[in-house]
Amino acid sequence: MSFAKAHLRVARPTDQLAAVVKFYRDGLGLEILYEFQDHDGFDGVMLGHRAAAYHLEFTRKRGHAAGRAPTQDNLLVFYIPDRTEWQEAAQRLEKLGYPPVPAFNPYWEIQGKTFEDPDGYRVVLQNASWTP
C-alpha cells in the first residue's frame, strides 16, 4: 500500500462546532467542503481547500462532552511561504478575537505565530516552506 497519493483527514470532536468552524473558515480561510446533521447522533463539518490533499473534520455528538485540548503542544502547523498570505491569515484571526499565544516550543516563535482555537487546540502559522 502506498500513502503517496492518500488524502488525509484530521478529525476531532468539539463542544463548540459553530465557533470552531468560524475560527477555521473565517480566520484561516478554509472552505466548507461538506456538512452533515444527525448522522447517528453526530453533526459535522469538513473544511479545507478543494485542491488540497487534506481536510479537517470537526464533529459534535449530542449528549457527549468532548472537552478541551489535553496540552499546549497539540498543534496543526500550516506552512505559508508567502509573507503577505501569512500576515493576512494572522490578521484575520486577530480580528476575530484570537490573539497570538506564546508557543510551548520556542521553535515556532522564530518564523511563526501560534493561535488557540475555541477548544484550546493550537494552530501554528509558519512563514516558511516545509522542507525535510
Top pLDDT among 5 and 63 is at 63
Distance in angstroms (rounded) separating the CA atoms of residues 39 and 8: 21
Q: How far apart are CA 112 and CA 86, in angstroms?
A: 9
Pairing type for strands 122-126 and 54-61 reads unpaired
Alpha carbon distances (Å) from 105 to 62, 73, 90, 115? 35, 7, 19, 13
Q: Chain centroid to CA 46: how far?
A: 11
What is d(CA 122, CA 116) in angstroms, rounded to the nearest whole number? Answer: 4
Q: What would the pLDDT profile of 23-77 be if each residue is shown by its tens digit?
A: 999 999 999 999 999 999 999 999 999 999 999 999 999 899 999 999 999 999 9
The region that residue 130 occupies, defined by phi over 0 for left and psi between -120 and 50 for alpha, beta otherwise, is beta
> Model confidence over 78-131: pLDDT tens digits?
999 999 999 999 999 999 999 999 999 999 999 999 999 999 999 999 999 998
Domain 8-61 has CATH 3.40.640.10: no
Domain 75-126 has CATH 1.20.1280.50: no
Q: Check if 8-61 and 75-126 are the same fold.
A: yes
**In the chain, domain spans:** 8-61, 75-126
